[in-house]
Amino acid sequence: MRWANDPEIRHLFRPFASKQQAQRPATLVNTATKLAAALEAGRLWYLIELDGVLVGEVNLVMDPPYLHDRQGKTAWFGVVIGEAQARGQGLGKAAMRHIEEVAREHGALWGQIGVFEFNAPARALYENLGYREIARIPEATWWKGKRWTDIRMQKSLQAR
Ligand SMILES: CC(C)(COP(=O)(O)OP(=O)(O)OC[C@H]1O[C@@H](n2cnc3c(N)ncnc32)[C@H](O)[C@@H]1OP(=O)(O)O)[C@@H](O)C(=O)NCCC(=O)NCCS
């Protein structure tokens, strides 16, 4: 909830359908409800600690219905380094490498992510890890007075 309500990052990892939705704070009830639904749908969630402090999370779900152009068993990833002081130290990259390994253990052939066009650090992270753009979904989220594109990126998990 803390990260979902942080005005510096909340728009980076949650899509907003409208200005109203973008302004609505995450509450304990809707956060817990979404988390329960995600876990029930089989999402695997890992919490990231730095020196004993919770600083982020990384998760995967296998073959969700919103994948773009599924070519075979595909893991969909999400990553958030929520605490500002923990960013830029290699945690995001290490977390993605870890979740890719988990996906391989579950038989995934592909890894796919979605990243909003304005999120330069995340786009650089995924490119750095070998993800390539496969599609653009226009008007996928609302932020700062307009709608923005969601970029879908994918990588083969068969080669390390
Ligand atoms: C995107 C995010 C996960 C990156 O995690 P991080 O721990 O800060 O990144 P790392 O230190 O592991 O950096 C890995 C690579 O990411 C890229 N990167 C990270 N921060 C960057 C920045 N501020 N500007 C440009 N590239 C950046 C670089 O390619 C970097 O590789 P390099 O160190 O070899 O240059 C993190 O910034 C974050 O959680 N942001 C808020 C939520 C979010 O955007 N989640 C992703 C939604 S799609």
User: What's residue 160's pLDDT?
Assistant: 75
Give pLDDT, residue 122.
98
Q: Give per-residue pLDDT as tens, 81-139.
A: 999 999 999 999 999 999 999 999 999 999 999 999 999 999 999 999 999 999 999 99
99 inside domain: yes
145 in a structural domain: yes
- In this structure, the dihedral spanned by the alpha carbons of residues 24, 26, 32 and 36, taken in order and rounded to 10 degrees, is 70
CATH of the domain at 105: 3.40.630.30
Closest ligand 1 atom to 81 CA: 39
Domain count, the chain: 1
Instruction: Note the pLDDT tens digit of each residue in 42-81.
Output: 999 999 999 999 999 999 999 999 999 999 999 999 999 9
In a domain, 2, yes or no: no
pLDDT score for 159: 82
pLDDT exceeds 80 at position 10: yes
- CB of 13 within 6 A of ligand 1: the answer is yes
- Taking the CA of residue 9 as reference, the ligand 1 atom at the shortest distance is 41
Residue 29 lies in a domain: yes
Domain around 136:
10-156
Query: Within a domain: residue 3?
Result: no
- How far is ligand 1, taken at its centre, from the CA of residue 81, in Å? 8
With CA atoms as reference, report the closest residue to 114 among 27, 13, 38: 13
Instruction: Determine, yes or no, domain membership for 140.
Output: yes
Tell me whether residue 5 is in a domain: no
pLDDT at 13: 96
Residue at 139 is within a domain: yes
